[in-house]
Amino acid sequence: MFLINCPYCGERDQQEFKAGGEAHIERPKQPTELSDDEWAEFLFMRKNIKGVQFERWNHAHGCRKWFNMVRDTSNDEIKAIYKMGEKPPTQ
Amino acid sequence: MIKNLRVKSSEYIDETNRISFKFNGKTYHGFKGDTLASALLANDVHLVGRSFKYHRPRGIMTSGSEEPNAIVQINPGTNRTEPNVRATEVEIYEGLEASSQNCWPSVEFDIGGINNFLSPFFPAGFYYKTFMWPASFWEKYEFFIRHSAGLGKSPTSSDPDIYDHRNIHCDVLVVGAGISGILAAKNAAKNNFKTLLVDEKNELGGSTIYENNEFNKIDNKTPSEWLKKEIEELKNIKNLEIKTRTSVAAYHQYNYLLARENLTDHLEAKDKTNKIRQRLLKIRAKKVILATGALERPLIFNNNDRPGIMLSSAVKKYSEFYGVACGNKNVFFTNNDSAYESALSLYNKGINVDAIIDIREQSESKIVKKIKEIGIKIYWSHSIVDTAGYKRLNSVSIMKLSNDGTSVTGSKISISCDCLGIAGGWTPAVHLYTQSGSKLKFDEEKQIFLPNQNTSEQISVGSCGGDFKIDEIIKNLNHKLKDNLNIKETDLDNIKVEIDQENSKRNIWLLPSDKPLGKTKPFVDYQNDATAKDIKLALREGFRSIEHVKRYTTTGMGTDQGKLGNMHALGIIADTAGVKMGELGTTTFRPPYTPLTFGTIVGRNVGKFFDIFRRTPINDWHVENKAEFENVGQWKRAWYYPINGETMHQAVQRESKAARESAGILDASTLGKIDIQGSDASEFLNRVYTNAWSKLAVGKCRYGLMLNEDGMVYDDGVTTRLGENHYIMTTTTGGAANVLGKLEDYLQTEWPELDVYLTSVTDHYATASLCGPNSKKILKKIIPDLDLSDENFPHMSFKDAHIGNIQCRIMRISFTGEHSYEINVQASYGKDLWEKCIEAGQEFNITPYGTETMHLLRAEKGFIIVGQDTDGTMTPIDLQMDWIVSKKKYDFIGKRSLYRSDTMREDRKQLVGLLTDDPNIVLEEGAQIVSELNQSPVEMLGHVTSSYFSPNLKKSIALAVVRGGKDMMGKKLFVPMENKNINVTIANPVFYDEKNERLNA
Ligand SMILES: [Zn+2]
């Protein structure tokens, strides 16, 4: 079980959190302008990387805040955590 | 006459405390301090079980948790019975009963033993190959397999014991209390680290605590004496918590470990009651020090599994620690010096040792010389080629080993013996280490896997880190502690160690016999009866990956996870395939290290604590009035209120009629309620619901439908505008938490610019829903000064009001199609409000109704229930609710998806009404709908989603989803059931009061 450093509350057990999938997939501002394929790309396609992945997490049983996490999915190392709206760290 | 093999008193055995216990129905005696295994051995009982596949007689092999053979059923036939318990870990107590597993009718005469003689027909993959064909025979095979297989019996009555969970946070967790663990814990605690030391045994000290070998000295004392003094000192150290009988089961990422603390398993039945039996410790440690020791390896030779064949280290422990001789005529078979230490230990206790067979050419260590002096016969460069004795070993045959170790030569010598100690070297216990995600590397010289790349704050010390000699252990432990804990001085700086231990070893994974491999039985995995032959067969058949070989041969797949034989399996694969051990990798060790009981896993979460349940503030009234309840998510909701012995059907018919004819009342407190405030609240609702919200006036209510981004219906409910920037949203009962989560997600991540605040207020309000033609009169009685005229308080509007001093919010909204009011008060006044309504409604025969009637009434009106009539594949268009989808709004959640080619298909399943031709037949919910009866296969057009007998329409009604159903009005279809085909006709889903005239009645 991970130990996750919520940017608002500090270190907490993973069981307080909910994973929210890949991060930095912005909802299109003008959905009607998109083709079916472009909309499907936003709606369904996710990378599911083995390795360093940018993810959304929610402190569901805590402050309820969403934040981003950089995690290596091959060994579950959490490399960085940053707030929504903040720039992802460069590696 | 039972023989007594208790040879010498031991300080760990209390001979004044004699204990009687039963094994396989026979009474035996042991002493306080014995394990079931040591007590049985003292009674000269070796045969304790049968193997899994061949049902071969098997005995006690080890003295610890790695035991593959001696697994027993504890207290059979009682509610405390437990299968698959290792006899080597059970501490005996007065009244303990145990029995063998996997044998029928008895361990002495087991019918399955015939499999042993049929074994040429049971090669690796036998089950896969044989029972596949013909497929239709599987049921017959399964019966046979299940009948003859047996890994114990689960209890048939509920567990009387209490279990517990505890969270522990510590600076340093030390796993294993052998010499390294004790020294590590002591030094960590002394340096102000909050330290927890755990060990699976009931005594501290590991194997060093009975190490009385005269050739090894620490500060001029024997290791045993020296360590006892250290343990004594632990008592006075602050910051140190010690837990014995505590086995670490799992080591997860970020130093999160699960351990099972055993509190009452060693106590008599009368002392177990009302105590916590086992406690699951959930440990989060800043640093973990693994001191899990090493497991002795067996040697793999023909018939190496007979009762009486044991690990050399176990023979030593039974003699030194328990004072038990494992045999009258003892022989050792070894590839290193360990067996000599065991032999010397037995000799010092006065136990007879006849011979040592050593596959090495020679060894010149002091201990070997000592054994020679004593006069024990040593056979150098010899190997055992066979053993004899069915239920107990009676002799071994040895032959000279060739120089390259691949064959045997010369004549066969037979040595009679009843106990054989085998010593194949040591394997570091790296199971927990690898569970943590850390990686191993293979040490070619020592032929062991060692910790290499740590993924968390951890160190492996002592023999689990590859140090086997006491001087190396202490030296390396000292370095690692200083490094890892960042301390300058330790107690270890000045320890003087004199030792005479040699690492000389000759490693042969599979020892040769005079017979070809096909004719021998060299067991690699004792519990699963996998032999070296099986492993070679798997390789011949093309398996290369160690994980595949493991599954095909079942090597390492038993309850012991192959703790003894996994290394040999790897070695045999490497030798056969001609690759290096290090290149093969290892199999994955998975939690738990030793099995956990279900009780420990669930802890206190049993019975009424199994799941959280929620009750409304009006619940007591429902209970007093004999309501039946149903679970809706975590809520307990009143389902129906039977009177005078009514059936559910009768009660629901009565309630439904009353609600339409006069007045009904429903506890609607469970509906999710979200308070929405902020200057962008209207814009927010515009974005989350399919319809428009900007023009909703203050004081008005509106029904909304919420979609997922994929266009499918997600939730629905009525939202009321309480003020300019203030709304209250209701959600479905089951969806409340998810809706709030979803809305928060959009607010925080997609639309952070919106000034909106969401608060869940579901539990803050109690809601009574008053409906029926007389509801207005009842409300008038309760709140006389509120103007209830349609002009002042029309349908879909809201009023703040007072009932006496109690503030309430009243919404005139309807889920039944009747004139109705939802009255919301602060939760604590809920029951009072309800009782006032009931009292005021007396003269109108006000009838409380439950969720079943609510479902029926809304179905008469064709109102959907999200989750019943929808299943995550229904768009609003599919539901024929086009009217609620705004065409004007530029965007809302899910809008774009409504224009995808797939969601626009005409032949999607669409919601329709369904009437049975015979009005008395009520369809089953979930029943399939077809258009043809005489066709096979026939296309399934859809299914029934809601179905009731309507007392108000006096006929059966149903809602269904049907492919292209929108354009099939009046079409005749069929619902084929097991015994009959039901004729149905597609109809308008609004069955009752299509013009909504009753809303204003
Ligand atoms: Zn938080």
ipTM: 0.97
CA B404 to chain centre: 48
Distance A13 CA to ligand 1 centre (A): 11
Nearest CA in chain B to A56: B749
| Cross-chain CB nearest to A31 (options B254, B284, B896) | B896
Domain boundary among B455, B475, B498: B498
> Nearest C-alpha of chain A: how many angstroms from B748?
7
Query: Per the CB < 8 Å rule, is B437 touching A34?
Result: no
Query: Per the CB < 8 Å rule, is A43 touching B897?
Result: yes
Q: What is the pLDDT of residue B320?
A: 93
Q: What is the CATH number of the domain that holds B38?
A: 3.10.20.440
CA distance B723 to B10: 83
B448-480: burial string, b at 16+ Cβ within 10 Å, e else: bbbbeeebbebbbbbbbbbbbbbbbbbebbbeb
Distance A9 CA to ligand 1 centre (A): 4
Q: Three-state SS for B945?
A: strand
Q: What is the CATH number of the domain that holds B969?
A: 2.40.30.110
Q: Three-state SS for B481?
A: helix
Residues of A in contact with B758 (CB under 8 A): none
Residue A82, pLDDT > 50, answer yes
Query: Per the CB < 8 Å rule, is A3 touching B256?
Result: yes
Query: Per the CB < 8 Å rule, is A1 touching B741?
Result: no
CA distance B280 to B300: 37
Report the share of chain B in percent with pLDDT over 90.
Answer: 83
Residues in A lying within 8 Å of B, measured between beta carbons: 1-3, 13, 18, 20, 26-28, 31-32, 34, 36, 39-40, 43, 56, 58, 60, 64-66, 75-77, 84-85
Mutate to test the interface with B, among A12, A14, A18, A27 (most CBs of B within 10 A): A27
> Nearest C-alpha of chain A: how many angstroms from B751?
10
Q: Three-state SS for B122?
A: coil
Q: What is the pLDDT of residue B1000?
A: 82
Residues of A in contact with B253 (CB under 8 A): 1-2, 76
Distance B706 CA to ligand 1 centre (A): 27
| Cross-chain CB nearest to B900 (options A39, A77, A84) | A39
For residues B145 and B254, state if they share a domain: no
DSSP per position, B208-264: GGG---TT-EETTB-HHHHHHHHHHHHTT-TTEEEESSEEEEEEETTTEEEEEEESS
Q: What is the CATH number of the domain that holds B249?
A: 3.50.50.60
Domain residues for the domain of B708 are 609-892
Q: Which of B615, B666, B670 is nearest to B641 (CA)?
A: B666
Q: Which two tokens stand for residue B169?
A: 């946070």
Relative to beta strand B797-803, strand B806-812 is antiparallel
Q: Which domains are present in chain A?
A: 3-28+36-83 (3.30.2270.10)
Q: What is the pLDDT of residue B144?
A: 56
For residues B64 and B185, state if they share a domain: no
| Cross-chain CB nearest to B895 (options A31, A64, A75) | A31
Q: What is the CATH number of the domain that holds B811?
A: 3.30.1360.120
Residues of A in contact with B750 (CB under 8 A): 26-27
Judge contact between B584 and B578, C-beta under 8 A: no
**DSSP summary character for residue B153:** -
Number of A–B residue contacts, CB under 8 Å = 57
Query: Per the CB < 8 Å rule, is B455 touching A75?
Result: yes
The distance in angstroms from the start CA to the end CA of chain A is 25
DSSP per position, B498-539: E----------SS---SS-GGG---EEETTTTEEHHHHHHHH
For residues B707 and B565, state if they share a domain: no
Query: Per the CB < 8 Å rule, is A76 touching B901?
Result: no
Number of domains in chain B: 5
Q: Three-state SS for A12?
A: strand
Query: Per the CB < 8 Å rule, is A56 touching B749?
Result: yes
Residues of A in contact with B897 (CB under 8 A): 39, 43
**What average pLDDT does chain A have?**
95
| Cross-chain CB nearest to B437 (options A27, A34, A76) | A76
Residues in B lying within 8 Å of A, measured between beta carbons: 252-256, 284, 437, 455, 709-710, 741, 744-745, 748-750, 752, 890-891, 895-897, 899-901
For residues B626 and B686, state if they share a domain: yes
For residues B434 and B416, state if they share a domain: no
Establish if B924 belongs to a structural domain: yes
Query: Per the CB < 8 Å rule, is A58 touching B254?
Result: no
> Which residues, given as ranges, of chain B have pLDDT below 70?
1-3, 8, 102-105, 107, 109-150
For residues B720 and B805, state if they share a domain: yes
Query: Per the CB < 8 Å rule, is B455 touching A77?
Result: yes
Query: Per the CB < 8 Å rule, is B896 touching A27?
Result: no
**DSSP summary character for residue B614:** B
Establish if B229 belongs to a structural domain: yes
Establish if B601 belongs to a structural domain: no
Judge contact between B962 and B909, C-beta under 8 A: yes
For residues B670 and B547, state if they share a domain: no
Nearest CA in chain B to A3: B254
Query: Per the CB < 8 Å rule, is A1 touching B253?
Result: yes
Query: Per the CB < 8 Å rule, is A3 touching B284?
Result: yes
| Cross-chain CB nearest to A31 (options B255, B749, B891) | B891
Q: Degrees (nearest 5) of the Cα angle A68, B732, B853? A: 160
Judge contact between A23 and A56, C-beta under 8 A: yes
Q: Three-state SS for B918?
A: coil
Judge contact between B181 and B291, C-beta under 8 A: yes
For residues B391 and B436, state if they share a domain: no
For residues B509 and B485, state if they share a domain: no
For residues B614 and B720, state if they share a domain: yes
Question: Average pLDDT of A54-62?
Answer: 96
In 10 A of CB B798, how many CB atoms? Answer: 22
Query: Per the CB < 8 Å rule, is B749 touching A66?
Result: yes
Establish if B596 belongs to a structural domain: no
Establish if B594 belongs to a structural domain: no
Residues of B in contact with A31 (CB under 8 A): 891, 895-896
Distance A16 CA to ligand 1 centre (A): 9
For residues B712 and B799, state if they share a domain: yes
Distance B283 CA to ligand 1 centre (A): 21
Establish if B353 belongs to a structural domain: yes
For residues B761 and B887, state if they share a domain: yes
Domain boundary among B129, B155, B181: B155
| Cross-chain CB nearest to A66 (options B252, B748, B891) | B748
Query: Per the CB < 8 Å rule, is A60 touching B896?
Result: no
Nearest CA in chain B to A29: B891
| Cross-chain CB nearest to A1 (options B252, B437, B741) | B252
Establish if B600 belongs to a structural domain: no
Query: Per the CB < 8 Å rule, is B437 touching A31?
Result: no
Q: What is the pLDDT of residue B150?
A: 57
CA distance B311 to B766: 69
Nearest CA in chain A to B892: A31
> Nearest C-alpha of chain A: how many angstroms from B253?
6
Residue B933 class from Cβ within 10 Å (0-12 exposed, 13-18 middle, 19+ buried)?
exposed
Establish if B589 belongs to a structural domain: no
Residues near ion ligand 1 (Cβ under 5 Å):
A 6, 8-9, 59, 62-63
pTM: 0.89
Query: Per the CB < 8 Å rule, is B748 touching A13?
Result: no
Query: Per the CB < 8 Å rule, is B745 touching A66?
Result: yes
Domain boundary among B498, B514, B544: B498
> Nearest C-alpha of chain A: how many angstroms from B900?
6
Mutate to test the interface with A, among B746, B896, B904 (most CBs of A within 10 A): B896
